Amino acid sequence: MQKRSRIRFSPTEDALVYVYFPLKDEIIEKKGLLFDESANGCSVIMLRNKTLTIGQDVLIKVGDLAHLEAQVRWIKEVHDNTFLIGFMYHEKI
């Protein structure tokens, strides 16, 4: 089993995450629940992921923090149409 290189923080039950990215001629907003977080990134539970792709740059707002630039690092389907998505921040928080 691979050890994580960063300390993870447990979120509150209702910590929402907003992800913004361009698609064609508009800005798309996706919402999810924060699963865990570190200084370098976070993982988010989202439904019906058909628009986010690995390597995609996004703008992300985690809870009450300011908007941060981030990149989609991995996507795992954990159940039918339920995805766990890993984001890496472009700068540490």
Instruction: List pLDDT tens digits, range 56-83.
Output: 999 999 988 889 999 999 999 999 999 9
Cα–Cα distance between 24 and 6 in angstroms, integer?
35
Give the helix ranges, DSSP H, for the chain.
none
> CA dist 26 to 18, 22, 77, Å?
16, 6, 26
50 φ/ψ sector (left φ>0, alpha ψ -120 to 50, else beta): alpha
Instruction: List pLDDT tens digits, range 10-61.
Output: 666 678 999 999 888 999 999 999 999 988 999 999 998 788 999 999 999 9
DSSP-derived 3-state class of residue 22: strand
The β-bridge relationship of strands 16-23 and 57-62 is antiparallel
Please check whether residue 21 is in contact with residue 49, taking contact to mean a CB–CB distance below 8 angstroms. Answer: no
The tokens for 60 are 């992300």
pTM of the model: 0.84
Q: Which fold has domain 16-89?
A: Thrombin, subunit H (2.40.10)
Cα–Cα distance between 41 and 93 in angstroms, integer?
9
Q: Give residue limits of the domains in the chain.
A: 16-89
